[in-house]
Amino acid sequence: MSETIVGNDLQQAIHLLDNGECVAIPTETVYGLAANALNEEAVLKIFEIKNRPHFDPLIVHTHSINEIEKYVEAIPDWALQLMNKFSPGPITYLLQKKNNIPDLVTSGLNTVAIRIPEHILTLELLRNLSFPLAAPSANPFGYISPTTAFHVKDQLDSKIKYILDGGDCNIGVESTIIGLENNLPTIFRVGGIAVEEIENVIGKVQIRIESSSNPHSPGMLLSHYAPRKPLLFDKVEENLKLNSDKRTGIISFFKKYDAVENENQIQLSPNQNLHEVAKNLFAAMRKLDAANVEIILAEKFPEIGLGRAINDRLKRAAKK
């Protein structure tokens, strides 16, 4: 395949998707590698391009609650309340699927992960398609998620024909995933909507953030979002001493470390804003992965709001 084209031509993206091709699309969270969710041959291309295992389910994207109703058996009250509050937005609902969603998309599970992304270009794209889009992150499986069109091109150049460029992602971490377990609303992946925000709408929820080799929700694999270089999470001062013989990069909240060259440390938010941290996290991991360092150390962030999602991504990145 020839070099991948980057642009904002909706008609080109529509044409390719209508013809069973994969297109990278922008969302508010990260860029997705999208294909017709109802076309198994197209969905297979996602797995092939990403080298993604077939037991890892995909998230389906559509443009409205009315469209979601076409692909799920029912929208329970708790989900409808959340949709009315947060969708479009960085939240995914794990609901009983209808038979029109192929088993390949859900890894054989009877639930589908489905959401409405909050990005003006992608919503317009979805409104002009006759099908929803399956779209995991547009990167090789297990690597750092892309938050710019350049990140996608850097990783998937010549593997896909088109990247729909919608600018930088303004959330920067993947969506929160919520479903039911034992008839109780349960968060299976922390993400762009904080637990506290969800509980303000529907009351107390369970949190089941597990690492699994047989996931029943996207984003539950033990090792994920990982740079190629080793990443050590938490206890930065201790790990600096243990690795004093190595060239080290550091990802911190706002602190600077005297033992490391300035060019090899990134303060994600000098203003101590967790939304800013989330937006910058994956780009920082990429920058240090490409820098002249041997290992990357990352601080643990406050376990409140988006801090939970940030820490979750760093823990999985460190499990490589």
309 and 161 within one domain: no
Which of residues 207, 239, 269 is at a domain's end? 207
CA distance 118 to 26: 10
Residue 55: pLDDT above 80? no
241 and 202 within one domain: no
Query: First vs last Cα of the chain: how many Å apart?
Result: 31
- Average pLDDT, integer, range 272-276: 95
Q: On the CB side of 301, how many CA atoms lie within 13 Å of its CA?
A: 28
Is residue 26 situated within a structural domain? yes
185 and 55 within one domain: yes
- Average pLDDT, integer, range 265-285: 95
10-44, pLDDT tens digit by residue? 999 999 999 999 999 999 999 999 999 999 999 99
Where residue 52 falls among pLDDT bands split at 50, 70, 90?
confident
86 and 11 within one domain: yes
Q: What pLDDT, on a 0 to 100 scale, did the predictor assign at position 219?
A: 64
168-195, pLDDT tens digit by residue? 999 999 999 999 999 999 999 999 999 9
pTM: 0.90
Residue 256: pLDDT above 90? yes
Is residue 125 situated within a structural domain? yes
Mean pLDDT of the chain: 93
Instruction: Using alpha carbons, select from 160, 164, 188, 158 the residue that is nearest to residue 175.
Output: 188
- Average pLDDT, integer, range 119-134: 98
Q: What pLDDT, on a 0 to 100 scale, did the predictor assign at position 165?
A: 98
Is residue 78 situated within a structural domain? yes
What does the CA dihedral 15, 21, 25, 31 come to, rounded to 10 degrees? -170
Is residue 47 situated within a structural domain? yes
Q: What pLDDT, on a 0 to 100 scale, did the predictor assign at position 254?
A: 97
Q: Which domain holds residue 238?
A: 231-317
- Average pLDDT, integer, range 145-172: 96
Q: What pLDDT, on a 0 to 100 scale, did the predictor assign at position 257?
A: 96
Which of residues 162, 192, 207 is at a domain's end? 207
CA distance 24 to 6: 9
- Average pLDDT, integer, range 234-244: 96
Q: 116 or 221, which is more confident? A: 116
250 and 104 within one domain: no
Is residue 137 situated within a structural domain? yes
Which of residues 173, 207, 241 is at a domain's end? 207
248 and 111 within one domain: no
- How many structural domains comprise the chain? 2
Instruction: Using alpha carbons, select from 96, 93, 73, 74 the residue that is nearest to residue 85.
Output: 93
Q: What pLDDT, on a 0 to 100 scale, did the predictor assign at position 212?
A: 54
180 and 311 within one domain: no
Residue 214: pLDDT above 80? no
181 and 83 within one domain: yes
CA distance 25 to 162: 9
Q: What pLDDT, on a 0 to 100 scale, did the predictor assign at position 221?
A: 62
Q: On the CB side of 85, how many CA atoms lie within 13 Å of its CA?
A: 16
79-96, pLDDT tens digit by residue? 999 999 999 999 999 999
CA distance 142 to 139: 8
Q: How large a percentage of the chain has pLDDT more than 90?
A: 88
